[in-house]
């Protein structure tokens, strides 16, 4: 795509060398002439698209993801939070799973990428929506009636990552639906960042370094310290809560060791 304008420009120059109904001027010079030259493109050395943009381009162009899935980095979080997968709602899965399959009126939590939003106006002139959610197994439909939709409409945009707690609506035949009761963004799930030190002495040596990072990357995630030798746990005050984004976690891992930094979901009470 970057080279498209240059290719079109070169093609246009080539057309100017041609007299209608006759050979091109370069052809008159003979095939072996150096003046004719070869058509050559020099591609610039460009950086790869950011991962999220690359995946989105793949899906837009081909209808499938090739180099990964937008939820690959969220597998651990989804495993911890979700009680059902999108494929469980398919008719095929219901036939296969039998007793272990979904049940009508069952309360469950699903999570995934919001790929489509179909808004509707009810008879009471209230807004509701039919949502399509995709995880690593399949796509499924979620119904958000007015009361639930009103609480989530500000962040319900395509490609947003959401968890949905709801009640399953299952018919005798066909795919089941989930009637949403609460919707939350992945990014809003309460998290704890655990940082481990070998003992109290190591912590005291590196305390200033840690606190400096916490001050620079403030957020909503609680920080928990663990001293391995003493088997002691210390939860830092609210003023030291940190951003739990990938960049912050990577920095902590770089400073204190990958094996010493862990992210945990604080509680499922948020749903």
For residue 186, give the nearest of 149, 150, 223, 155 by alpha carbon.
Answer: 155
**Residue 59 placed within a domain:** no
Q: Which of 186, 218, 245 is the last residue of a domain?
A: 186
**Residue 249 placed within a domain:** yes
User: Are 175 and 205 in a shared domain?
Assistant: no
* pLDDT of 15: 57
User: Are 217 and 176 in a shared domain?
Assistant: no
**Residue 82 placed within a domain:** yes
* pLDDT of 238: 93
**Residue 63 placed within a domain:** no
User: Are 76 and 155 in a shared domain?
Assistant: yes
**By three-state DSSP, how is residue 139 classified?**
strand
* pLDDT of 103: 92
**Residue 149 placed within a domain:** yes
**Any idea what the CATH number is for the domain that residue 130 is in?**
2.40.50.140
User: Are 176 and 207 in a shared domain?
Assistant: no
- Total domains in the chain come to 2
List the beta bridge partners of residue 243: none
User: Are 109 and 156 in a shared domain?
Assistant: yes
User: Are 159 and 218 in a shared domain?
Assistant: no
Strands 161-169, 177-185: parallel, antiparallel or unpaired by DSSP? antiparallel
Q: What φ, ψ does residue 263 adopt, rounded to 5°? A: -110, 135
Report yes or no: 108 and 134 within 8 Å, Cβ to Cβ: no
User: Are 257 and 200 in a shared domain?
Assistant: yes
Q: Which of 155, 186, 217 is the last residue of a domain?
A: 186
**Residue 28 placed within a domain:** no
User: Are 77 and 176 in a shared domain?
Assistant: yes
Residue 103 domain boundaries: 72-186
* pLDDT of 48: 65
DSSP letters, 153-216, are TTT--TT-EEEEEEEEE--SSS--EEEEEEEEEGGGS-EEEEEEESSHHHHHHHHHHHHHHHHH
**Residue 51 placed within a domain:** no
**Residue 122 placed within a domain:** yes
Report yes or no: 65 and 58 within 8 Å, Cβ to Cβ: yes
For residue 78, give the nearest of 45, 35, 109 by alpha carbon.
Answer: 109
Strands (E) across 71-176 are located at 107-121, 127-134, 139-144, 161-169
Whose tokens are 């070869």? That residue is 38
According to DSSP, residue 64 is labeled S
Report yes or no: 139 and 189 within 8 Å, Cβ to Cβ: no
User: Are 223 and 262 in a shared domain?
Assistant: yes
Distance CA 95, CA 74 (A): 29
pLDDT of the chain along its 271 residues, tens only?
A: 555 566 667 666 655 555 555 555 455 455 554 544 555 666 667 676 676 677 777 677 776 777 778 899 889 889 989 999 999 999 889 888 877 889 999 999 999 999 999 999 999 999 999 999 999 999 999 999 999 999 999 999 999 999 999 999 998 777 899 999 999 999 888 889 999 999 999 999 999 999 999 999 998 899 999 999 999 999 999 999 998 877 899 999 999 999 999 988 876 666 6
**pTM to 2 decimals?**
0.67
Distance CA 138, CA 115 (A): 12
Q: Which of 186, 205, 224 is the last residue of a domain?
A: 186
User: Are 176 and 195 in a shared domain?
Assistant: no
């Amino acid at each position: 795509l970057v080279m498209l304008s240059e290719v079109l420009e070169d093609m246009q120059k080539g057309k100017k060398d041609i007299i209608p109904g006759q050979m091109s001027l370069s052809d008159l010079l003979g095939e072996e002439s150096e003046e004719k030259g070869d058509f050559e493109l020099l591609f610039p050395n460009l950086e790869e698209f950011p991962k999220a943009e690359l995946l989105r381009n793949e899906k837009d162009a081909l209808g499938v993801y090739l180099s990964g899935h937008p939820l690959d980095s969220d597998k651990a979080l989804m495993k911890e939070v979700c009680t059902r997968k999108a494929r469980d709602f398919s008719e095929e899965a219901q036939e296969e799973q039998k007793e272990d399959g979904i049940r009508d009126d069952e309360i469950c939590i699903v999570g995934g990428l919001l790929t489509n939003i179909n808004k509707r106006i009810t008879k009471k002139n209230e807004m509701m929506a039919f949502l399509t959610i995709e995880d690593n197994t399949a796509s499924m439909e979620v119904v958000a009636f007015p009361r639930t939709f009103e609480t989530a409409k500000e962040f319900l945009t395509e490609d947003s990552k959401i968890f949905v707690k709801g009640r399953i609506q299952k018919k005798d035949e066909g795919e089941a639906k989930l009637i949403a009761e609460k919707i939350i963004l992945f990014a809003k799930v309460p998290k704890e960042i655990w940082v481990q030190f070998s003992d109290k002495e190591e912590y005291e040596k590196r305390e200033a370094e840690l606190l400096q990072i916490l001050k620079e990357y403030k957020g909503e995630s609680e920080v928990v310290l663990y001293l391995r030798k003493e088997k002691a746990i210390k939860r830092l005050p609210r003023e030291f809560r940190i951003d739990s984004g990938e960049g912050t976690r990577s920095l902590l891992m770089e400073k204190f060791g990958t094996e010493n930094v862990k992210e945990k979901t604080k509680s499922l009470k948020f749903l």
